[in-house]
Every structure is written in C-alpha cells, then in structure tokens.
Structure 1
C-alpha cells in the first residue's frame, strides 16, 4: 500500500510531462478550525483556484483564469461535492467502526499531456491517509485497496457507468480543458526562468546544501559531482517546493568533511528543463554562505538564508490553506484527447458519487 504525503500544490518534477491539470478534494471531520471540505485545482504545479465549506465560493488564484469558464457553475458543482464528501466521511467511519476522532476522505484526479503527445490520467480515492479505491481504465473497473472498499467496488462495477464516465473525463474532457488553460496562461506556464544557485552551510560540520531557487518550470535536477563524477552516496535530495511568486526551489545536501572537499573538486550542477546550459557552483570556501561566526561568507545575505526561511514559511502556508493529503504513485498509465462544454471543465457532481 502506498503511503500518503502532504500535497505541495501538486508539484510534479518529471520533466517528461509538459503540462498537467489536477484536482484535490478533502472531506474531513474532527479538525477544529479547519473547513470540512476543501477543493483545489492545479495546472502545472500552479494553484488556479480554491473552494472551502466555510466561504462556499470558488476563488480564482491566477489572473489569466478570468473568463475562461463559468465560475458560478464551478461553485455550484463544488457545493454538491461538499455534500457528497460529508456523506462519504460518515460512511467511511461507519464501515471502519469509528465514532469519534479525526478522519478524512480524499480524492485526487487529473490528467497530464506529455511533450510527445502521450496523455495520462488518474482517479483515486483515499480514506484516513491510505488508499481506498482507484479506477482501472484498462478494465473499466474499480480497484479496492481494502475490504471496506469492496462494498463500493461491487456497487460501482455492477453497471460500469461510473468507470466509463471517469475514463471519458480523463481521456477527453480533462485533456481538452488542460489545453485551453495552457493557451490562456501560456505567458506564465510556458516561461523559462533560470535559477539562482547558492551553497549554504549551518556549521563547519554540517552538510553543504546546494540551493536552487526562482526557477520555472519545475522540471529540475540538482546534483553533486566529485572530480566530474556524479555523487550518490552521502547525498540527500530535498523535495521541489513552490515559492510565493509561482517559481520553484530545490535543495540537495552533501555530507563531506572540509578536508575532503578542499582536497578534491566538488561542484553542484543544476539542470533545468528547457534551458540547455547547466549551472554549476564549485565548492570552495568563498562560495559558502552561512550564519555561523563573523568570518563566514554570506552570513548576512538576505537573498540566501532568507530564501530558505521564506520557503519554509510558504510551505506552512500551503499546508494550512490547502490541507489536502494525497498518496505517492508508483505507476502511471496512459491514454488520448477530444472536447466538451464550459460546465464540464471540472468533474461534474454526477461524476463523484457516494461510496
């Protein structure tokens, strides 16, 4: 069973994927001060809208989304989803013999369009941080992750209508709207921005961090080399995070003694999708920026340490606002495209059922 992780605005680091459209819904109970339903739409790792059960109004997060679709219709659709998710949390608690506590019912679905024209799509439900039910497009059936989900699988498989509906959405409707969104937001979504790269270290004995920030798109590789050979041992890769301005950041940490890196040529290499030239930073004392001791380089540089702090704050805001939990996917499967109406830009209420 796959483990669930905190959603970081749906960021996808796979450079082979050119564009993606994903939606994340969470129904919850027992979380004080948090909406019982949250829905978020994401294009290419960039949040496009937000809805919750407190405001009950869909809010656009990108100016280029203005006028693209019928927002009143989207709001009404999500109000319907809100009631469905409230019911599904209750049903889930009954099936698992739960009467109190914090419980969540999640849905992640969406499509991806590769630069080779190949499309992909997923439609997956989760309960309390674990897989629950997922669509198998090849057989037009639902896969139950546990015995409690078998009840829903049998019900939905009986007619095949739900599987057909979602397969058509993922292969046709979703791809068509993804293309439309990318066309409207191409100045933002298809821009290429080179990263700023810094070498950071907390103390002389701490790992050296290669921090790349401010880049777009998110497809990036940040790795360490020793004497021209890529290092795998003693290297830890961080997640790709999103900055407040929609660009991204990533850190890769190298554990090495000062004696070792002073006697060998270590360098950090950053490769960004869409940009041919690599960016390199050679590990020398003058390049290291830190916050220990008066003699250390870059100790007061707000553009380096500040970026790290800002990234952490941004991450906390994302978690607090979005509050969506999803699972890591090991395998993806593929598909194809077509067209639809304005009211179908997001999966309609009839496509998201009670379990």
Structure 2
C-alpha cells in the first residue's frame, strides 16, 4: 500500500458502507522540509467511517473537534489528555524523521513519516480486525500483524526498529488489549455519539444538467438518516431502463447525498412527463422534469467558472507538493493511539 498526503484541506465527500461496516482510524503525519510553505511539521486526524472527527497540528497545538456532535466529548477531561499525547508524539516524530534520514543516507529534502492505525467493525456479525501500518516517504516501512502481534519490516532500514519494538513485550500486550477490545469500544462509542447528535433532516432535491444535451441528474442532499429511495417516473410509471443510480455518500457535515441520472434524448422528455421521486423517512418529494426546474451550467456560468478556477488552483498546488515528495521516491503516513476507557492513554507512540 502507498500512503498519499494532501496538505490542503478541501471539503471531501466520502463513500461509506451502509452494510453495517464501520471504520475508526487515526493518522499521524510528520513532515521534514516543508515548513517554509506554511505546512505543519506534524498533524493528526481521526476519522469515523471516513469522516474527520478531530484534527491536531503543530501550528495550532490544539486538538479541534471537526463535527458538531463532538463538542460534548471535547469538553471532557480526556480531550486534554488526548491533546497532551499528540503534543508529545509531535516531538517523537520530529526525532524519528531525523533517525530515518540518517538510516537512508539523506541530508536534505522533503520527507514524511506516518502511521495509519485503527479498526474495522461489522455491526451485523460483530467481527472486527485491526491494522497498524507505518510508512516513510510514501513507501511501506513497518506493519504489525495484529493477531500474531508481530512486526514485519518492508525495507532493510526498518530492521533495527522491528527488533526494538518486538522486544517490548509490555507494548505488545497493550496493543493486543487495544485491538481485542478498546478500538471497537471507541468506534461504537462515537457511532452512538454521532447518532445522538443528529436529528432527522429531509432532503433538498434538485434537477441538474451540464448542457441542454446532457443527461439530467436528480440530486438529493442534506438528509439524515442515510436511507433514501430515488425513482424516475415516465408518465406516472416507474422508469429504470435509462437510469444510473449513484452510491449514497456522506457530506462533510454528516448528512448524506444520493443521485439518479436519467439518460433520455431531449425530445423524449419534452414529449413525455418525467418526474423524480425521492422517498425519505421525513418526507416524499416529487419533482417534475421541466425547463424551469433544471439547474444547468448555462444559468450559473459565472459561479461555475469561479468554482472551476478555485478547484484548479488547489489541484495544481497539491500536484506540485506531491511531485516534490515523490521525487524522493517515498512518502509516509502515521496513525495514533486512542485513549483507553480507564482515562489513560493506551500507549504513547514509539521512537525508532
């Protein structure tokens, strides 16, 4: 696997598994050689089902809740402990990168050290599996076989670290306890916190079209919970033959979106009555396909152009930064610890 860094925060839309599969992941990233660009030397992100729930970096030196429903948890004493842990790991990472640069005979340049760590849990079967992966400059460095509690190096330079960590039986015992019990405990805890923090919200439905000759997209967004049914009707009858249904996606604010695209010629929907029906727990919305209902690029050219410009600039910046890192041939990502339910840190990230 390769870890990829995006140094610029852009609101992303994440695809999620609604088949009862959930993930809880923490990522630590240490960076050397990019401070002049205003990029933090260290950052930490925790995500639940692909949605960012907290963030820390070496510039702010604060752990920040990223979802409204995390505010209550952020007021607890454990939040201060989590902040202290990240501040300590920040120092560990700075030292670790220096050690790795020496091992790889590097004296300058852009380098990254990362850890990706967490668990995936199936609510239906109650089965779970953990993962703990390290990388340097985007290439595999060390991984932990969670069940075997055995570290494996991916490159020769990782051997001294594998030997050191493998000899730490207390550390391995803490990891076993975490992956056997505590990771899923916190995953379920935050799932309940997220659910309690949201009330039912109805969808906003729009008919979208890029050009008059383009297919028409029925787009529902901003609804909660996630279950929704979108149906296209032709003259009052279900019409599925020329329809492509998209996945349910999660928005940055925790609500959801889904689309169904109708592929029919312009003259066809001019002669017949097409309608999009969105069924949600809160309400059922039917929107008839007419010129007045469609939001197209022709009517929002100025706003659309601005959006493209902004996105273009962001993409160029990201590509330039990634090119700098890839030029060193590697790149790395890092995952953090999660506190135990005994109000103590499960483990502190390790030096090399």
- TM (norm. structure 2) is 0.67
Tell me the residue number matched to 2:18: 15
> Given the alignment of the two structures, is residue 139 of structure 1 paired with residue 148 of structure 2, yes or no?
yes
Distance 2:161 2:103 in 1: 11
Q: Is the 8 A contact 2:27 2:46 kept in 1?
A: yes
2:328 maps to none
**Deviation at residue 208 of structure 1 after TM alignment:** 4.5
2-structure distance, mates of 1:112, 1:228: 34
Q: Which runs of 5+ in 1 are unaligned?
A: 293-298, 328-338
| Distance of 1:48 and 1:135 partners within structure 2 | 25
Q: CA deviation at 1:3?
A: 6.0
Q: Does 1:4 align with 2:7?
A: no
Partner deviation per Cα, 1:248-301 (whole Å, 9 max, x = no partner) = 4466777776468779999889798xx699988787655531131xxxxxx369
Comparing 155-164 and 12-21, the one that deviates more: 155-164
CA distance in 2, matches of 1:153, 1:219: 45
User: Which of 37, 40, 43 is the equivalent residue of 1:38?
Assistant: 43
Distance 1:92 1:279, change over 3 A: farther
Q: Deviations 1:204-246 (Å, cap 9, x if unpaired)?
A: 35565453321345688989999524867xx9x6894633x43
Change (3 A) 1:78 1:276: same
Q: 193-202 or 259-268: which moved more?
A: 259-268
Matched with 2:207 is 199
Match of 1:28 in 2: 31
SS at match of 1:166: helix
Q: 2:117·2:132 contact (CA, 8 Å) conserved in 1?
A: yes
Matches of 2:20 and 2:332, distance apart in 1:
19
Give the unaligned 5+ runs of structure 2. Answer: 322-330, 334-339
Alignment of 1:77 onto 2:107: no
Structure-2 change in CA distance of 1:280 and 1:160 (3 Å):
farther
199 and 138 in structure 1: CA distance in 2 versus 1, 3 angstrom threshold: same
1:246 aligns with 2:243: no
Report the counterpart of residue 228 of structure 1 in structure 2. Answer: 240
* Alpha-carbon separation, structure 2, partners of 1:94 and 1:55: 29
77-86 or 121-130, which deviates more: 121-130
Q: 1:241 to 1:154 in 2, by over 3 A?
A: same
Distance change (3 Å), C-alpha of 1:3 and 1:210: farther
Which structure would you say has the larger Rg? 2
1:179-198 map, 5 Å? 179-188=188-197, 191-198=199-206
TM-score (norm 1): 0.67
Q: 1:186 to 1:247 in 2, by over 3 A?
A: closer
1:288 corresponds to which of 288, 294, 297 = 294
**Separation in structure 2 between the aligned mates of residue 246 and residue 162 of structure 1, nearest angstrom:** 35
Aligned equivalents of 1:91 and 1:218: distance in 2? 46
The 8 Å contact of residues 106 and 326 in structure 1, kept in 2 or not, is answered as yes
Contact 2:249 2:256 in 1 (8 A): yes
Distance 2:116 2:159 in 1: 19
Change (3 A) 1:56 1:4: closer
Aligned length: 316
The separation in 2 between residues aligned to 1:154 and 1:279, in whole angstroms, is 61
Alpha-carbon distance in structure 2 between the residues aligned to 1:222 and 1:132: 45
Tell me whether 280-289 or 52-61 shows the greater mean CA deviation.
280-289
> Could you say which residue in structure 2 is the equivalent of 1:335?
none
Please tell me whether the aligned partners of residues 89 and 104 of structure 1 are also in contact (alpha carbons under 8 angstroms): yes
Conserved 8 A contact 1:111-1:121: yes
